[in-house]
């Protein structure tokens, strides 16, 4: 043995001995040998921290640690308190002034061992709660893996429980961090994993004990909360947007409408509404004034005329969507609200969205008491913010940072269906990047671990728990290693089966990143299974990896976690096994015409394409839809029948709408691959029940084709026939291939809020790599 090796062995032995001597014993043989000390008048979050420590020590060891308000007779104690407010802490924090300094204005914590006792302290009550959870995580194999209350928490029994790591300082990178999700179980899960923000704002009975940062007003709320139709429209229709020369009631639009932002009387009314809410809810610091989830903006003369900027130049709407005109108009209006708060409610702030028409920063300064929740809704989650496909969003972010440092990074990483989407890699990368620019507030939408209106969130959690857990740890510190976090999750959840489950995820992750096309919040789960697993023939190796894991996982809840993963994997693949993911077009001997049902004449020989599936969710679409495709030397012909149980309520705008206005209500959409000269491209054709049309080449809506559509309503629904000349898609003459790739979408919307979307097989709009081939027979 060399001298260096001997020294190393001695060092390891001394460290092990020191660790053994410094361990804080909590239980012996399932009996308590320690106590929890907390002030009698402790803040609810500190009291809850004591209760949680008591609960989990009992669950793990069987020992019931007493919660006392002064030191008792136990061998050891864990003392919890807020610096400067806790008598229980005594003078201990004074011995660690560096800790106290670093804990100011955040919800981090410190744990220090003094005379055999552990003192856990923070500058605010939430920090104490965070410290208890992280102390438990550091010293046991406990993991809150998913919100599911039956099997989402996993830990081993240890009747002789001791804590070895009782000296640390832990400060979060993000001072506001959390998930916009639903359900008490999901809220408790994220609180236990260190977040301090949830979507439950007003009326949350747990906000004090959970230490939640509260904001007033909820989400999209201009006409839903402040200037409501019920209160204002009859007497003040001019408060609401003008469209086509008439003022629009918010209730006539699925996502309501914006307001007439140039109307001074509306501004005065809004300020009065905001005043009232601040008086009635003074406990909040931040009041949300959030644009509605729509582009329904006012087209009155005042709202469409150029804006004179402070520097004397004028700004018009020539850039259209994505330009700064509407954003500037909105912030000129919002600044008036903010100035009123500065004068009459000092210390109060406004939070608003950087979203849709406010995603581009305005060409004016914004008031210092306005914060921006920046929402990169169409960002590609397969690439970091700096990736080439995210150039627009990256530039918008940089532009925002030029005019404000009050920005929250608001994402969509948790909106994923029942497909394992490895966005944790991108999420932590982006969170680290924007933090380098000074951003320290972030949250993202996340489906709750329950069946929901949009998707069955529990199925998403079955396959995405690891990614959601890793991203949640990244909210505390995004500079952590993603793969080490994944390994920690897999080890704690699956034990000896961790390597096999890791292989399952690695197979799909590799395919997901290699598969062409972007990934956004509205990905189709079934399309991802098709592209990443079925077409790459990964079913067998994925299944084999999970089968090997099943033979190794021991923990009962770990086995249930694995069973949920396996069941959803098989459920998602089962309906895909019988799908061809292709269709055909039959050559027509004579020119076709619109005939009810499309079962006579040349249509009789066409293949019925009827495999439509709901998005999101992937279940068979309940509104029967059948498309038949014919072709000849001149054109492609699409005959479609749309069954509907309530024909009388079919909804769309009257015929004769502008050519490139997106059709409202019940409509159908066709995507086709083609050519633009020597370049491959795709084309988009959409129309509603009244024949109003929209078309585009790629995302260029200024392109107009020569295609035609004829529609008719029937007793059982409606029919349409679309004629697309080969020249429209650049495939006339010798350029015509043996097949074209296509995607069909049916939008069922009778003017209410219960709209439905059905998709032929699966795919992603504007992503031609996901379209299905249509063979020309």
Secondary structure class of 1 (helix, strand, coil): coil
- What local confidence, expressed as pLDDT, does residue 581 receive? 84
pLDDT digits (tens, 9 = 90+) for 519-528: 998 888 888 9
- The answer to whether residue 735 scores a pLDDT higher than 80 is no
- What local confidence, expressed as pLDDT, does residue 753 receive? 58
- In this structure, the number of other CB atoms found within 10 A of the CB of residue 699 comes to 9
How many angstroms separate the CA atoms of 208 and 44, rounded? Answer: 6
Q: What is the mean pLDDT of residues 367-387?
A: 97
- What local confidence, expressed as pLDDT, does residue 4 receive? 33
Q: Would you state the structure tokens that stand for residue 560, as one six-digit string?
A: 């249930």
Q: Is 738 left (phi over 0), alpha (psi -120 to 50) or beta?
A: alpha
How many angstroms separate the CA atoms of 283 and 216, rounded? Answer: 9
How many angstroms separate the CA atoms of 517 and 528, rounded? Answer: 10
Residue 609 in contact with residue 626, Cβ under 8 Å? yes
pLDDT digits (tens, 9 = 90+) for 338-355: 999 999 999 999 999 999
Q: Which of 33-47, 50-64, 412-426, 605-619 has the lowest mean pLDDT?
A: 605-619
Residue 436 in contact with residue 138, Cβ under 8 Å? no
Residue 769 in contact with residue 516, Cβ under 8 Å? yes
pLDDT digits (tens, 9 = 90+) for 258-305: 999 999 999 999 999 999 999 999 999 999 999 999 999 999 999 999
Residue 309 in contact with residue 363, Cβ under 8 Å? yes
- What local confidence, expressed as pLDDT, does residue 767 receive? 87
Q: What is the mean pLDDT of residues 561-581?
A: 92
- What local confidence, expressed as pLDDT, does residue 267 receive? 98
- The answer to whether residue 627 scores a pLDDT higher than 60 is yes
- What local confidence, expressed as pLDDT, does residue 6 receive? 31
Q: What single DSSP character describes residue 589? A: S
CA 630 to chain centre: 40
Residue 770 in contact with residue 578, Cβ under 8 Å? no
- What local confidence, expressed as pLDDT, does residue 752 receive? 64
Q: What percent of the chain has pLDDT over 90?
A: 85
Secondary structure class of 366 (helix, strand, coil): coil
Q: Would you state the structure tokens that stand for residue 130, as one six-digit string?
A: 């965070």
Residue 232 in contact with residue 214, Cβ under 8 Å? no
CB under 8 A, 24+ apart: contacts of 703-710: 704/659, 704/660, 709/685, 710/594
Q: Which of 108-122, 532-546, 604-618 has the lowest mean pLDDT?
A: 604-618
Q: What is the mean pLDDT of residues 668-687?
A: 96
Beta bridge partners of 713: 718
pLDDT digits (tens, 9 = 90+) for 90-121: 999 999 999 999 999 999 999 999 999 999 99
- The answer to whether residue 18 scores a pLDDT higher than 50 is no
Instruction: Quickly state the pLDDT bin for 653 (edges 50, 70, 90).
Output: confident
Q: Would you state the structure tokens that stand for residue 747, as one six-digit string?
A: 């939008």
Q: What percent of the chain has pLDDT over 70?
A: 97
Secondary structure class of 624 (helix, strand, coil): coil
pLDDT digits (tens, 9 = 90+) for 429-480: 999 999 999 999 999 999 999 988 778 899 999 999 999 999 999 999 999 9
At residue 699's C-alpha, the angle toward residues 697 and 701, to 5°, is: 70
Is the peptide bond between 320 and the residue preceding it cis, with omega within 30 degrees of 0?
no
How many angstroms separate the CA atoms of 101 and 770, rounded? Answer: 54
- Residue owning tokens 């054109």: 635
Q: Write the CA distances from 443 to 190, 210, 431, 482, integer angstroms.
A: 12, 17, 10, 18
Q: Which of 13-17, 111-115, 143-147, 197-201 has the lowest mean pLDDT?
A: 13-17
Q: Which of 12-26, 446-460, 702-716 has the lowest mean pLDDT?
A: 12-26
- What local confidence, expressed as pLDDT, does residue 14 receive? 32
Q: What single DSSP character describes residue 750? A: -
Q: Is 500 left (phi over 0), alpha (psi -120 to 50) or beta?
A: alpha
């Amino acid at each position: 043995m060399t001298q260096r090796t001997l020294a190393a062995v001695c060092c390891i032995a001394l460290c092990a001995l020191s660790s053994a001597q410094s361990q804080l014993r909590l239980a012996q043989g399932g009996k308590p040998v320690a106590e929890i000390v907390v002030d009698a008048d402790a803040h609810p979050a500190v009291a809850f921290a004591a209760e949680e420590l008591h609960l989990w020590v009992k669950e793990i060891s069987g020992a019931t640690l007493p919660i006392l308000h002064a030191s008792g007779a136990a061998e050891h104690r864990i003392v919890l308190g807020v610096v400067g407010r806790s008598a229980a802490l005594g003078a201990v924090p004074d011995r660690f002034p560096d800790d106290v300094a670093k804990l100011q204005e955040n919800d981090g914590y410190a744990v220090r061992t003094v005379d055999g006792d552990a003192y856990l302290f923070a500058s605010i009550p939430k920090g104490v709660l965070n410290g208890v959870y992280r102390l438990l995580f550091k010293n046991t194999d406990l993991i809150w893996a998913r919100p599911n209350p039956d099997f989402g928490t996993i830990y081993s029994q240890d009747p002789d429980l001791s804590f070895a790591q009782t000296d640390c300082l832990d400060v979060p990178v993000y001072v506001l961090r959390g998930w916009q999700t639903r359900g008490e179980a999901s809220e408790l899960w994220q609180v236990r994993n260190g977040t301090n923000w949830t979507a439950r704002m007003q009326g949350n009975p747990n906000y004090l004990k959970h230490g939640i940062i509260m904001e007033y007003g909820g989400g999209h709320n201009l006409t839903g909360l402040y200037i409501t139709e019920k209160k204002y429209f009859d007497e003040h229709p001019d408060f609401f947007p003008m469209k086509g020369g008439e003022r629009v009631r918010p209730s006539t639009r699925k996502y309501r409408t914006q307001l007439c932002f140039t109307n001074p009387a509306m501004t005065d009314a809004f300020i009065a509404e905001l005043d009232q809410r601040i008086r009635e809810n003074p406990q909040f610091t931040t009041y949300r004034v959030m644009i509605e989830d729509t582009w329904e903006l006012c087209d009155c003369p005042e709202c469409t005329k150029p804006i004179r900027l402070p520097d004397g130049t004028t700004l018009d709407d020539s850039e259209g969507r994505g330009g700064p005109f509407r954003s500037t108009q909105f912030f000129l209006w919002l600044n008036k609200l903010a100035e009123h708060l500065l004068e009459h409610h000092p210390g109060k702030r406004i939070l608003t969205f950087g979203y849709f028409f406010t995603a581009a920063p305005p060409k004016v300064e914004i008031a210092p008491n306005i914060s921006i929740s920046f929402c990169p809704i169409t960002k590609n989650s397969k690439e970091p913010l700096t990736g080439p496909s995210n150039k627009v969003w990256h530039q918008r972010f940089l532009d925002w940072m030029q005019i404000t440092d009050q920005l929250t990074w608001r994402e969509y990483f948790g909106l994923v269906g029942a497909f394992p989407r490895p966005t944790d890699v991108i999420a932590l990368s982006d969170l680290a990047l924007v933090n380098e620019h000074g951003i320290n507030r972030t949250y993202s939408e996340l489906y709750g671990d329950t069946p929901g209106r949009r998707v069955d969130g529990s199925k998403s959690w079955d396959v995405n728990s690891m990614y959601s857990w890793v991203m949640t740890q990244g909210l505390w510190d995004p500079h952590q290693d993603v793969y080490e976090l994944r390994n920690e999750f897999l080890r704690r959840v699956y034990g000896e089966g961790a390597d096999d489950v890791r292989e399952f995820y690695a197979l799909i992750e590799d395919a997901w990143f290699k598969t062409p096309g972007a990934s956004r919040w509205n990905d189709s789960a079934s399309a991802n299974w098709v592209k990443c697993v079925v077409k790459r023939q990964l079913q067998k190796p994925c299944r084999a990896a999970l089968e090997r894991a099943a033979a190794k996982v021991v923990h009962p809840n770990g086995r249930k976690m694995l069973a949920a993963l396996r069941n959803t994997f098989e459920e998602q693949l089962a309906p895909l096994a019988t799908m061809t993911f292709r269709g055909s077009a039959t050559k027509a001997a004579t020119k076709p015409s619109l005939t009810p049902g499309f079962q006579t004449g040349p249509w009789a020989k066409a293949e019925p394409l009827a495999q439509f599936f709901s998005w999101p969710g992937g279940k068979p679409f309940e509104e029967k839809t059948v498309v038949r495709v014919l072709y000849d030397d001149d054109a492609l012909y699409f005959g479609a029948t749309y069954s509907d149980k309530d024909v009388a309520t079919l909804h769309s705008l009257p015929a004769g709408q502008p050519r490139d206005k997106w059709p409202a209500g019940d409509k159908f959409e066709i995507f086709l691959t083609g050519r633009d000269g020597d370049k491959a491209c795709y084309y988009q054709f959409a129309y509603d029940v009244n024949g109003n049309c929209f078309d585009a080449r790629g995302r260029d809506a200024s392109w107009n084709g020569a295609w035609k559509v004829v529609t008719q309503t029937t007793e059982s629904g409606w029919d349409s026939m679309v004629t697309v000349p080969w020249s429209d898609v650049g495939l006339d003459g010798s350029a015509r291939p043996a097949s074209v790739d296509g995607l069909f979408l049916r939008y069922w919307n009778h003017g209410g809020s219960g709209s439905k979307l059905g998709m032929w097989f699966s795919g992603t709009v504007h992503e031609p790599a996901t379209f299905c081939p249509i063979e020309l027979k």
